[in-house]
Amino acid sequence: MTQHSPKSPQFFLTSPSPCPYLDGQFERKVFTHLVGDKAAEMNDLLTQGGFRRSQNIAYRPACETCRACVSVRILANEFMPSKNMRRIQNLNSDIIGVEHTAEPTSEQYSLFRRYLDSRHRQGGMSEMTVLDYAMMVEDTHVPTRIVEYRLRDPDSFITGGSTGPLQAVALSDRMADGFSMVYSFFDPDQTPRSLGTWMILDHIERARAAGLPHVYLGYWVEGSRKMEYKTRFRPQEHLLADGWERIDS
């Protein structure tokens, strides 16, 4: 693994490639490696500055002709769920989420594979093998947890856990000011449960319980239908030219 000084990180720029969100646009990314004993501190600073983490790399868009990608974070302490979100919370009251160390399992990969085949068959992750999945989960130098969401079993109210069927999984970084949702996936046969929304709602509650003000959702791209859901969680902040700007409506 390439080593870089955390005190003076080296940044690199990718070559242009077709944008996965907007037709006719080309994307470039600036990135650096998150390694060493200061990786968590660097990840906090870079995430607050609009970067995202993928394995041991932090990156952000650096496109030449487009600024559509906007970093989004939810203000957890002020968030109030909508009527539809409360319905989703009630619908999933039979699911329990338990945090684990960032370790992959064959059960997780099986669900991940089903999710990709159903929702993202043509996406950039569609060919990920079990080894690729393991690297996505394990290759981290920052505080990362994996949350497994399972149907409650008869002992859940006693043990706080569950051995029930796995419904969804979220890979998240714990930062000084919140949680950053790195990647999440769910059972594609459970569409009526809106499990993607449910996991975000759960992370908001986890942030509140931990006394953390933010939940980072990554990038919102205006005009991209697959990104529209991120703007439903208000109030939130968008990282614009002058810094984080509050968005209430």
3-state secondary structure of 73: strand
Beta strands 17-18; 26-27: pairing state:
antiparallel
Sign of CA dihedral 95, 167, 135, 27: negative
Could you tell me which of 167, 205, 199, 162 has the C-alpha nearest to residue 183? 199
**What pLDDT, in 10s, does the model give residues 114-172?**
999 998 776 678 789 999 999 999 999 999 999 999 999 888 877 777 889 999 999 99
**What pLDDT, in 10s, does the model give residues 17-76?**
999 889 899 999 999 999 999 999 999 999 999 999 999 999 999 998 899 999 999 999
Cα distance between residue 87 and residue 110, in whole Å: 28
The whole model's pTM is what? 0.92
**What pLDDT, in 10s, does the model give residues 4-24?**
444 678 999 999 999 988 989
The CA-to-CA distance between both ends of the chain, in Å, stands at: 45
Count other Cβ atoms within 10 Å, centred on residue 226.
Answer: 12
Token readout for 14 is: 């990718």
At residue 6, the pLDDT reads 46
> What residues have CB less than 8 Å from 86, skipping those under 6 apart?
none
Domains of the chain by start residue, with CATH: 12-69 (no CATH), 73-247 (3.40.630.30)
Q: What DSSP element (H or E) covers 91?
A: helix 83-91
How are the residues of the chain apportioned to helix, strand and coil, as percentages rounded to the nearest 5? Answer: 30, 30, 35
Count other Cβ atoms within 10 Å, centred on residue 47.
Answer: 25
Angle at 32 between CA 27 and CA 34, to 5 degrees: 135
